[in-house]
């Protein structure tokens, strides 16, 4: 099967694919149609009901406040990028229920003195949980404001005692081909991997995330654990993590392998650096309506005061 970048396309060009894929599935077997049509309806109904799932108590962390309105539970849980379940924005909500998240362990290894393998309950207890309202900006030029729950990744990394060789952190997402229909499309080389420089990973804004809206993460949002780096485009924030690996060399991440001319290692939100096929100068806030005015994109997604020092002296057009 030819992959989309072999013919000059990017997954963002084919978001409506979910429509024709759904039609194809319908035609393949009429007997399955009632079930196929019922699943999206159930997902929408659940989203309309408001925050659902086990509570995840946390104290509010207002060190990076925002006056922007928080998106609704429905916005956050029904409009997602999670290509393991398909390229359509509604595909994760429709199909992520198949993913198995119990039991769940995460391996933390590599250039560390004390490698660990921890289950999700132990990981949640490793540091006090905080609720932080962060902006999420995606490379397709849409954004949300989301109340995440977790703690700074630095708490976990300090437990494994990184060595002097630890220059980069690599995140690996779970791969469950039988439960992830998008994997068969070969949009990317699986499993999904992303990475950070060590100083980025240790920055207090980088959040090891277990919940949203005061509840445990829904599967379509990266359950049971993901990372959030709010000054970078959303594809840097790996979901459903099973491994965190520290190493001395820069990693080649999934999107860098797929389309290096479009997706660089740093992926800092920068309105002055356009995507090869569209501008990044403005963004559309999800939930504001189809005809709402676009808003200006902020450098580093509005977190420049906190993080711009990490890139002092760098050419942020070349290091995109």
Instruction: Give pLDDT tens digits for 43-52.
Output: 666 778 789 9
C-alpha 239/C-alpha 123 separation (Å) is 15
Q: Are strands 105-110 and 241-247 parallel, antiparallel or unpaired?
A: parallel
Per-residue pLDDT at 124: 98
- The tally of domains found in the chain comes to 1
317 belongs to a structural domain:
no
C-alpha 143/C-alpha 139 separation (Å) is 9
Q: Are strands 105-110 and 116-119 parallel, antiparallel or unpaired?
A: antiparallel
From residue 161, give the alpha-carbon distance in Å to each of 107, 113, 119, 158, 251. 14, 5, 19, 5, 20
Per-residue pLDDT at 136: 97
CATH of the domain at 239: 3.90.420.10
171 belongs to a structural domain:
yes
318 belongs to a structural domain:
no
Q: Structural domain of residue 11, as residue ranges?
A: 4-311
84 belongs to a structural domain:
yes
229 belongs to a structural domain:
yes
- For the whole model, what pTM was predicted? 0.86
Per-residue pLDDT at 157: 98
- pLDDT bin (cut points 50, 70, 90) of residue 289 is confident
C-alpha 78/C-alpha 46 separation (Å) is 10
- Mean pLDDT (the chain, rounded): 89
* Residue 38 pLDDT > 70: no
* Residue 68 pLDDT > 70: yes
Contact 303, 256 (CB under 8 A): no
Per-residue pLDDT at 49: 78
Residue 164 CB neighbours (<10 A): 7
Q: Annotate 130-185 with DSSP letters as a single string.
A: EEEEEEEEETTTEEEEEEEEEEEHHHHHHHH-B-TT--EEEEEE---TTT-GGGGG
Contact 202, 158 (CB under 8 A): no
Per-residue pLDDT at 71: 97
More confident residue, 19 or 145: 145
């Amino acid at each position: 099967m030819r992959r989309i970048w072999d013919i000059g396309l990017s997954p963002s060009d084919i978001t409506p694919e979910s429509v024709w894929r759904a039609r194809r599935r319908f035609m393949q077997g009429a007997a399955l149609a009632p079930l196929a049509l019922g699943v999206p309806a159930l997902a929408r109904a659940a989203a309309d009901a408001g925050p659902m799932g086990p509570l995840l108590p946390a104290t509010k962390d207002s060190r990076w406040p925002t006056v922007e309105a928080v998106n609704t539970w429905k916005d956050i849980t029904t409009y997602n990028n999670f290509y393991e379940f398909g390229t359509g924005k509604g595909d994760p909500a429709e199909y992520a229920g198949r993913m198995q998240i119990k039991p769940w362990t995460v391996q933390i290894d590599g250039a560390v003195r004390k490698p660990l393998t921890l289950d999700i309950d132990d990981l949640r207890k490793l540091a006090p949980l905080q609720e932080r309202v962060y902006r999420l900006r995606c490379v397709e030029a849409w954004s949300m404001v989301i109340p995440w729950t977790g703690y700074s990744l630095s708490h976990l990394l300090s437990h494994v005692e990184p060595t002097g060789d630890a220059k980069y952190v690599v995140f690996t997402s779970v791969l469950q081909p039988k439960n992830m229909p998008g994997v068969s499309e070969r949009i990317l080389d699986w499993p999904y991997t992303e990475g950070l420089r060590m100083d980025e990973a240790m920055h207090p804004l980088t959040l090891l995330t277990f919940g949203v809206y005061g509840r445990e993460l829904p599967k379509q949002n990266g359950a049971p654990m993901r990372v959030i780096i709010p000054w970078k485009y959303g594809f840097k924030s790996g979901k459903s993590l099973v491994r965190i690996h520290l190493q001395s060399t820069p990693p080649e991440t999934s999107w860098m392998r797929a389309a290096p001319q479009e997706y660089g290692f740093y992926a800092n939100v920068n309105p002055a650096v356009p995507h090869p096929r569209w501008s990044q100068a403005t963004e559309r806030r999800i939930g504001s309506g189809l005809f709402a005015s676009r808003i200006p994109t902020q450098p580093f997604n509005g977190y420049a005061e906190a993080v711009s020092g990490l890139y002092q002296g760098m050419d942020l057009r070349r290091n995109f």
